[in-house]
Structure 1
């Protein structure tokens, strides 16, 4: 019976801004050499200068990064799995709002105007607003990142 494979995450230091190109070069090297002990290559958004490699051991990581341009080495230690999950999990974007809240539009053609939330579609990231500073009833649909909550109801 074969022992279960150990999977650890190793941080590979790279030149800032070259994370994606290094990840592509690592992938090509893994494919051409038939290395089966690398399970994933992660380019974390918001973490400049690092590529995370999931592998069975540090010797495998050192082998695949040897001679690759823009690679500065392997950071000492392991990256905890919890940190990886935080990096790659989907975060809620935009303010937490609900129908009836008072908001201010912070960008776009209605910038600076006060409005009331009529409906909020979290899946599409859009909000339907009733512009209060208009002379007639005006409802507009804008992205949720263009508003700022003013007063909760």
Structure 2
């Protein structure tokens, strides 16, 4: 029976804004050199200037990052798995709204208007609103992060 391999996460310092390009170059190098020890390449949203590589050890990291443009180096130590999970896990988007709630639109063409929630599509992150300040019944579908609960007066 084969013993399970240890998986560690290493942070690679890259030029800010070049994270996705570097990740694609790393992927190409792994494929062309048939490196088996790399399990994933993670470009964490919201963490500028870093790419995370999941591998068995530092030997694989050194082998794939050598000579690639925009890589500044390898950060000291390992990145804890909990930190990786926090970076890539899905977070709730926008305010919590229920059908019948009064909301204010905070961006887009209906900005500043009062509306009532008719439908909340949690899977899509959208709300269907009935705009109250229009001359005729107007229903619009917008992302939930574009509304906030209306102030109670």
TM-score > 0.5 by shorter chain:
yes
**2:65 is equivalent to residue 65 of structure 1:** yes
Q: Alpha-carbon deviation of 1:132?
A: 2.2
Q: CA deviation at 1:97?
A: 0.6
What are the residue-to-residue correspondences of 1:20-31 with 2, within 5 Å? 20-31=20-31
Secondary structure at 2:84's aligned position in 1?
A: helix
Structure 1: how far apart are the matches of 2:27 and 2:141?
Answer: 42
For residue 120 of structure 2, give the secondary structure of its aligned residue in structure 1.
strand
Shift of the alpha carbon at 1:4? 2.0
Q: How does 1:68-147 map to 2 (within 5 A)?
A: 68-147=68-147
Aligned length: 152
Unaligned runs of 5+ in 2: none
Partner Cα separation in structure 1 for residue 19 and residue 144 of structure 2 = 30
Tell me how far 1:12 sits from its aligned partner.
Answer: 0.6
Once the 2 structures are TM-superposed, how far is the Cα of residue 130 of structure 1 from its aligned partner? 2.1
4+ residue runs over 4 A deviation: none
**Cα deviation 1:77-135 (Å, max 9, x = unaligned):** 11111111111111211211111211111223322111111221112222122222234
Distance in structure 2 (CA, Å) of the matches to 1:39 and 1:136 = 56
What is the CA-CA distance between 1:151 and the residue it aligns to?
A: 4.5
Aligned to 2:42: 42
Q: TM-score, normalised by structure 2?
A: 0.90
- SS of residue paired to 1:79: coil
Structure 1: which 5+ residue stretches go unaligned?
none
